[in-house]
Every structure is written in structure tokens, then in C-alpha cells.
């Protein structure tokens, strides 16, 4: 591995760690419920944009991002149903 390849690998690893932390934080915030429609959407978009970076051994974090998106959609539907009185 050359120095340039090593620097690229270290940079990619730092970015991967940052994305993982972002997805964990967004998932935890989504679990609280009220901010779920917003944070779930952000987590889903972030997971989709980082899918090539987070594939493989860190694919669990992709699942967290997509799961937060699904939770956000469910909470949005529940909020809308409560709003119209069902």
C-alpha cells in the first residue's frame, strides 16, 4: 500500500465513522417519536447517499438509517390520522 492509498483509506475510514455516528444519533432521536418525521427522513436520505460507503461489514448502519426512515413514515401517518380525527 502506497502512502497515497493509505491516506485515501484513512480518509474513507474517518468518513465511514462519521456517517455511522450520524445514523446512530438520528435513529435514537427518531425513536423518541415527535421529531420522527423529520429525523427519519434525514436518516433515510443520509443512508441512501452513503450506501456505497456503508456496505459490507458496516451494513448494520444502513439498516438503522432505513429503519429510522420507516419509523418516520409510520409516525407521519399516525400524526395525520390523529389530525383528521381517526
Dihedral angle computed from the Cα positions of residues 46, 34, 74 and 64, in that order, rounded to the nearest 10 degrees: 40
Write out pLDDT tens, residues 9-63. Answer: 999 889 989 988 998 998 999 888 788 888 988 999 998 998 888 887 778 888 8
- Range of 38's domain? 3-84
Measured distance CA(84)–CA(63) in Å, rounded: 32
In the chain, the number of structural domains is 1
Q: What was the pLDDT predicted at 1?
A: 79
Measured distance CA(83)–CA(67) in Å, rounded: 24
Amino acid at each position: 500500500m502506497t502512502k497515497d492509498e493509505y491516506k485515501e483509506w484513512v480518509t474513507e475510514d474517518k468518513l465511514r465513522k462519521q456517517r455511522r455516528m450520524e445514523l446512530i444519533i438520528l435513529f435514537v432521536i427518531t425513536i423518541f417519536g415527535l421529531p420522527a418525521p423529520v429525523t427519519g427522513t434525514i436518516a433515510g436520505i443520509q443512508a441512501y447517499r452513503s450506501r456505497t460507503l456503508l456496505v459490507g461489514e458496516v451494513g448494520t448502519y444502513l439498516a438503522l438509517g432505513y429503519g429510522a426512515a420507516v419509523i418516520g413514515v409510520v409516525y407521519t401517518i399516525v400524526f395525520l390520522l390523529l389530525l383528521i380525527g381517526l
